[in-house]
Amino acid sequence: MSLEAHIRELESKHQKLEDQIADMMNHPSVDDLEIKRLKLEKLHIKEEIERLRKRLDAA
């Protein structure tokens, strides 16, 4: 898989997590721990995207 394709895949995962978090926050029975876990996962993906973009720019 090319670096660009991997970045696009991570961006898609990031967007799906963002949508999932937004949906969960609109429900009255919010699981705060699950939202926190998803936000952390989203942050890790964002950091990986940034790391890969820097690597791509350096190439």
Expressed as residue numbers, the domain containing 19 is 3-58
pTM of the model: 0.87
pLDDT at res. 27: 86
* Distance between CA atoms of residues 26 and 17, nearest Å: 14
Give the per-residue pLDDT at 28: 81
Give me the pLDDT at residue 1, please. Answer: 75
Dihedral angle computed from the Cα positions of residues 16, 43, 7 and 9, in that order, rounded to the nearest 10 degrees: -20
Q: What is the pLDDT of residues 1-56, one digit of tens each?
A: 799 999 999 999 999 999 999 999 998 888 899 999 999 999 999 999 999 999 98
Total count of domains within the chain? 1
- With beta carbons less than 8 A apart as the criterion, state whether 45 and 17 touch: yes
